[in-house]
């Protein structure tokens, strides 16, 4: 029974590691997305960094990327920056690929 328990523990550890890595990748992607959007809104320095942190936090509202997309789209619109959700999503995808390339 020990071999089975060892395999089960190894699978659980692998799953936990994969989930942790996914969280880190998405947080990095969202941080960069926040900085990108902040730049479009004319923010710099601490203001841009604070906005990027808000984008990271927005990802905890629901599963998936829709919460992040809505937050960024709404913030841009409020600041008078016209940007389609398709363009924002394309930037999200580009940044995700960038982060994943850096980590591999």
Task: Map out the domains of the chain with their CATH numbers.
Answer: 26-103 (1.10.790.20)
- Give the torsion sign (CA, 69, 64, 95, 24): positive
Residues 6+ away with beta carbon under 8 Å from 36: 91, 95
Q: What is the 8-class DSSP label of residue 19?
A: H
Entry field: residues in the chain: 104
Written as tens digits, the pLDDT of the chain (104 aa) is 577 677 776 777 676 766 678 879 999 999 999 999 999 999 999 999 999 999 999 988 888 899 999 999 999 999 999 999 999 999 999 999 999 999 88
d(CA 103, CA 25): 8
């Amino acid at each position: 029974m020990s071999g089975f328990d060892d395999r089960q523990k190894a699978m659980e550890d692998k799953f936990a590691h994969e989930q942790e890595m996914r969280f880190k990748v998405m947080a990095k992607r969202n941080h960069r997305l926040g900085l990108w959007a902040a730049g479009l809104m004319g923010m710099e320095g601490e203001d841009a960094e604070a906005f990027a942190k808000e984008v990271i936090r927005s990802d905890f509202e629901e599963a998936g990327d829709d919460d992040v997309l809505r937050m960024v789209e709404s913030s841009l619109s409020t600041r008078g920056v016209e940007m389609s959700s398709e363009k924002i999503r394309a930037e999200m995808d580009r940044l995700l690929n960038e982060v994943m390339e850096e980590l591999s």
